[in-house]
Amino acid sequence: MTSIPATPGLFITFEGIDGAGKTSHIGALERAFAAAGRSVTLTREPGGTPLAEKLRALLLHDAMDALTEVLLVFAARRDHLCRVIEPALARGDVVLCDRFTDATFAYQGAGRGFDIGVLSQLEQLAQTGCGLKADLMRNPDLTLWFDVPPALAASRLAAARAPDRFEAEPVEFFSRVAEGYAERAHQSGGRFARIDSTLAREDVSAQVLRQVAARGWLPLREGAA
């Protein structure tokens, strides 16, 4: 019989277009939860398992059509959920994940123009039945959406590194992706928290901590209200 952890697990995802700056803030939130006595699992998508990391390499560097891309994304996600995310949540961990399904709806749906209805069917299929509840479709408890104008994100990427297959897309593609995130946030029922990623790094970090503290998951730092 599986024991129930004294403190329930939390699933928090970081989302935003390439160049939004989200990845640089995951470590700070990990440290904040660790300081509060929580065990943290830090992971990413696509990736997070040996199989999913192999699929990530294909997705980032190999040419393919939109349907192949979508199927690889959800195959990686299923393995990630079954092997990493659900076991961590069952232990009572805080799972911090760099991207999840919202990215699929933004990039493959809005960006590539892939059918949203098919994405929803695959979401239901891939994200159900990995955890303790057979009928639960796993979604994040909180999604931190790092919102930034696509032109600013593109300038950040240009100064960072050689682009992968997604990062090399034109600004118009990222404008569609940004619209996809905005639409997903509108439909989220309060799961999304918008982070203004145009601000200085310390101000962005303060927004992240404030959003998490507002849900009672971390103590609110003095002067952070």
The region, left, alpha or beta by phi > 0 then psi within -120 to 50, assigned to residue 161 is: beta
CB atoms within 10 A of CB 65: 9
Residue 48 marked in a binding site: no
CA distance 119 to 112: 12
Residue with tokens 């299923």: 78
CA distance 16 to 44: 13
Amino acid identity of residue 157, one-letter, is L
Residue 19 marked in a binding site: yes
Residue 23 marked in a binding site: yes
In the chain, % helix, strand, coil (3-state, to 5) comes to: 50, 15, 35
Tokens matching residue 133: 């509840």
Residue 17 marked in a binding site: yes
Residue 18 marked in a binding site: yes
Residue 22 marked in a binding site: yes
CA distance 17 to 102: 11
Residue 20 marked in a binding site: yes
User: Which residues have CB under 8 Å from 191's CB, separation 6+?
Assistant: 139, 140, 141, 142, 143
Annotated binding-site residues for ATP read 16-23
Annotated binding-site residues read 16-23
